């Protein structure tokens, strides 16, 4: 298993069905050939998500188990993480877990419209936002008018 694969398999502590690679958080994994020191570069998701400290610890732990105890986790803020970076497999897993994947971020106008969020359970577009904050600050709580099920929606960013 490559070092990249070891780190890529770390799951998001809040949304445990997807890995940090699928979320687009993982930017780079590099090993210094002389010292063996591993440098992992990540870009945090939503500010206010306390998950990043856990992710850093999980990365160090995964590499340590793989025989690389000497690890640096570097945070890069630019370019800023966007929900557009979530991979196709990541979106599919989110939907399977009942979390509506974010739509594309609109950058083409001053008004940020809330696009219709399809119900991850029945696929209906007859949905409404119940609360701006779901189970975590990164998610909004939505409800489906067709099947009446509430679901979390990852805010597009
Ligand atoms: Zn539904």
Question: d(Cα 41, Cα 44) in Å, to the nearest integer?
Answer: 10
Q: How many domains is the chain built from?
A: 2
Q: Is the dihedral of CA 146, 120, 43, 60 positive or negative?
A: positive
pLDDT score, position 88: 92
- CB 127 within 8 Å of CB 117: yes
Residues 20, 77: one domain?
Answer: yes
- CA–centroid distance, 145 to ligand 1, in Å, is 7
| Per-residue confidence (pLDDT) for residue 24, from 0 to 100 | 93
109 and 138 share one domain:
yes
- Of the residues 61, 81, 101, which one is the last residue of a structural domain? 81
Tokens of 126: 């007859």
Alpha carbon of 138 to ligand 1 centroid (Å) = 21
Residue recorded with tokens 């800023």: 80
Of the candidates 38, 55, 81, which is a domain's last residue?
Answer: 81
Question: What pLDDT sits at residue 157?
Answer: 67
Structural domain harbouring 129: 86-154
Ligand 1 center from residue 118 Cα (angstroms): 8
> Do 93 and 45 fall into the same domain?
no
Same domain, 101 and 128: yes
Both 95 and 123 in one domain: the answer is yes
Please list the rounded mean pLDDT of every run of 10 residues in the chain (157 residues): 93 88 95 95 74 90 95 91 90 88 64 65 86 74 90 80
Q: What pLDDT is recorded for position 111?
A: 46
Last residue of some domain: 81, 108, 138?
81
Distance 130 CA to ligand 1 centre (A): 14
Do 42 and 26 form a contact (C-beta atoms < 8 A)? yes
Three-class secondary structure assignment of the chain: CCHHHHHHCCECCCCCCCECCCCCCEEEEEECCCCCCEEEEECCCCCCCCHHHHHHHHHHHHHHHCCCCCEEEEECCCCCCCHHHCCHHHHHHHHHCCEECCCCCCCCCCCCCCCCCCCCCCCCCCEEEEECCCCCCCEEEEEECCCCCEEEEECCC
In terms of domains, do 11 and 72 share one?
yes
Does one domain contain both 7 and 65? yes
Q: Residues whose CB is under 5 A from ligand 1 (ion)?
A: 119, 121-122, 124, 144, 146-147
Whether residue 16 is found in the same domain as residue 39: yes
CA 146 to ligand 1 center in whole angstroms: 5
């Amino acid at each position: 298993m490559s070092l990249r694969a070891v780190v890529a398999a770390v799951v998001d502590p809040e949304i445990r069905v997807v890995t940090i690679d699928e979320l687009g958080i993982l930017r780079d994994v590099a090993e210094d050939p002389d010292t063996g020191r591993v440098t992992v570069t990540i870009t945090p998701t939503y500010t206010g998500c306390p998950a990043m400290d856990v992710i850093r610890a999980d990365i160090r732990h995964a590499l340590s188990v793989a025989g690389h105890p000497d690890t640096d986790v570097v945070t890069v803020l630019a370019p800023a993480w966007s929900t557009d970076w979530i991979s196709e497999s990541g979106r599919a897993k989110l939907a399977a877990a009942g979390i509506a994947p974010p739509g594309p971020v609109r950058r083409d106008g001053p008004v940020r419209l809330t696009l219709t969020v399809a119900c991850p359970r029945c696929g209906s577009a007859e949905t409404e936002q119940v609360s701006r904050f779901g189970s975590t600050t990164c998610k909004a709580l939505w409800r489906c008018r067709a099947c009446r099920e509430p679901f979390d929606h990852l805010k597009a960013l």
